[in-house]
Amino acid sequence: MAQPAGSGLWQDVRIAPVEIALPDGVGYTLRAYRLSTAVEPPEIDPESATHDSYDAAAATVLAQRRRGQEDVEEEEEEFEDDGGEPIPVDFRDSALAAEGLEPADEDEDDEIADSDEVVEEDVPIFLGRRGKVYLFRSTEKLAEFVRSDAEHDLTQLDTWPELSKRITAADVEPDEDDQYELDLVVQNLRGVPDSWDHTLLIRAGELARDLGYALRMEPVIASLSGGSPLDDLDETLRAAEAGGPKAFFAKRKLRKMGEQQVAIGWRTIIGKISAAVDWRD
């Protein structure tokens, strides 16, 4: 299988083009992952800022979920109907719980923040500024913007000067794993659970978590945090995709989920993401 035209470039600069389909259209942007200690927190417009307590434990969980490295052994009974709705919990505590840690007391906050084990994790950073992600409807416009001297969050990366010199429109060819169809999520969830597109929904969750963290969107992070209905959906979809004996119980659990509830939840998330988009052309 032939590699994308600019694959060598993107490997060199450790930045990747991303394609996002939203109700307003399809756009291209850039995303990178760097250690949380190597990048500055984004400058957020005070009028749009909604969340400031993104600690290292939260970043750890987001990065691990993205890479699919949360290898937690679960009993098949977990996928039995528990007769109730998952209870949303505090985002920070759920992040620690996913790491197998007890929620810290307030007096222990500094110890967690100073821990190398949780700090040294990759976090997402997008092409954008002040709580907005820039989307371009054409690869030509994206490449033109990258070559400009405009200010944005990615200029802090040490590889940015190289990208701005080398990029061409032909290089902007996102890998399949970096293509997200958020415009299809709600429509897909309105069907019966057996017709849900697992890959579509899992990828949508990965992008939403990245954007929620990078743009400091508390409603998005809260909606997908551990213990929430949408996080429960995500975990069950992953179990169904993994196959084996657990997949049977996961698929049965999916059939018992409320289609309307998850569709409404995702519609809210997509609305928040759409509001954070700055269409640049």
In the chain, DSSP finds a helix count (H) and a strand count (E) of 13, 7
Q: Is 1 part of a structural domain of the chain? A: no
**Token reading at 247:** 């997949």
Handedness of CA 240, 245, 251, 253 (dihedral sign): negative
**Tokens 């945090």 appear where?**
225
108: helix, strand or coil: helix
Tokens of 47: 């009028």
Does residue 184 belong to any structural domain of this protein? yes
Determine, yes or no, domain membership for 82.
yes
User: How far is residue 190's CA from residue 188's CA, in Å, rounded to a whole number?
Assistant: 5
**Is the residue at 204 inside a domain?**
yes
Q: Does residue 183 lie in a domain region?
A: yes
Residue 39: how many CB atoms within 10 A of its CB?
A: 19
Task: Read off the tokens for 242.
Answer: 């993994």
Q: Considering the domain boundaries, does residue 30 fall inside one?
A: yes
* Structure tokens belonging to residue 139: 């690869």
State the amino acid at position 6 in one-letter form. G
- The structural domain count of the chain equals 1
Task: Round to whole Å and give the CA distance between 2 and 12.
Answer: 18
| Host domain of residue 123 | 7-279
Q: Tens-digit pLDDT profile for the chain (281 aa)?
A: 445 556 799 999 999 999 999 999 999 999 999 998 888 887 776 555 444 444 444 454 455 455 454 443 443 344 444 444 433 434 444 444 444 444 445 454 455 444 445 456 889 999 999 999 999 999 999 999 999 999 999 999 999 999 999 999 999 999 999 999 999 999 999 999 899 999 999 999 999 999 999 999 999 999 999 889 999 999 999 999 888 878 888 988 998 887 788 999 999 999 999 999 999 98
